[in-house]
Amino acid sequence: MQPNKTIAIAGATGAVGIEILKCLEQRQFPVGELKLLASARSAGRTLPFQGEDVVVEELTPDSFKGVDVALFSAGGGISKEFAPHAVAAGCVVVDNSSAFRMDAGVPLIVPEINPEDANDHNGIIANPNCTTIISLMGLNPMHQVFGGVKKIIASSYQAVSGSGAQGIIELENQVAALASGEPIPKQEVYPRQIAFNVIPHVDVFQDNGYTKEEMKMHYEGRKILHSDILKASVTCVRVPVYRSHAVSITATFKNEPDVETARAAIMKAPGVQVWDDITEEPPLYPTPLDCTNQDDCLVGRIRRDIVLDKALTFWVVGDQVRKGAALNAVQIAELL
């Protein structure tokens, strides 16, 4: 890793942008110069980095002169508008939106799984969807030892912070109203009450009845794992949890799987831990709180599926702001 890189963060004042700053500092990324970019209304704010206050600048097409790597986390529309300007200025873009993920010339990277793909880029590298990253961190070690995964049936339990700060505020306001006996405020972020409820609806519905979020694991999983046979049927559910996603997965494999081999493979894999011992008191399995603000994803409840042949069922949790977004982007920058 060469020192003195000029790094830009587009969307620096958002939740993921702020987490990117933390990851750069905690991982001692060799930042020579740092440019924090955001909308005009955020320009002039300061954010702390390595003991200094860095002033946020307005994001413009000319923001990327002299920048080596730009980490984008400002939404797909902003990425489509400004990433080409960054590339034209000689900058490599690591994009956290869905804008370029399925483009043929754009590698889709989880550094613990397919780091070699990052070498073949044309100026843009995409960060996968957070639920896809967390799921594949648990699944990939089994994919490697059991001859490849064929099918995935999964249900996600996605935290409100996946909707941004407004998702957290809506949950807090509804809980406060219910606790005090006041009328629940008008729902603005979610189509139903999220407090003390779960909503089987994340992202927009598609013609096939799945949501866009649910189809991401199917398409992105195939690209990341280089598998043309992988199929994924997913139900994404929003739950009243502040941070960190959980996913229940049943996966079928080419070869006959077994639980102990799966546990051993996960224990050897980087970025993921096994928390799986139901003989303990209380039983050991991970929850979203266990991985919040942590780098690693956690896997538990590994068991042989009793319905499908050559299948295992397991539970994986991960901090979707960190490994599902910011940390993964910084790890991609480290690969560069």
Annotated catalytic residue 297: no
Q: Cα(86)–Cα(314) distance, rounded to whole angstroms?
A: 41
Q: What residues have CB less than 8 Å from 273, skipping those under 6 apart?
A: 266, 267, 296, 297, 298, 299
Exposed e or buried b per residue across 109-120, where buried means at least 16 C-beta atoms within 10 angstroms of its C-beta: bbbbbbeebbee
Residue 148 three-state SS: coil
Q: Which of 143, 245, 291, 297 is catalytic?
A: 245
Q: At what angle do helices 130-145 and 259-268 cross, to 10 degrees?
A: 120
Name the nearest CA neighbour of 102 among 129, 130, 75.
129
Q: Which of 130, 236, 291, 297 is catalytic?
A: 130
Q: For residue 310, how many C-alpha atoms fall within 13 Å in the half-sphere facing its CB?
A: 15
Q: Is 121 noted as a catalytic residue in this protein?
A: no
**Among candidates 298, 152, 144, which has minimal Cα distance to 225?**
144
Query: What does residue 183 show for φ and ψ, rounded to 5 degrees?
Result: -60, 145
> 53 forms bridges with which residues in the sheet?
48
State the virtual CA torsion across 149, 152, 158, 163 in degrees, nearest 10. Answer: 80
Please give the positions annotated as active site. Answer: 130, 245
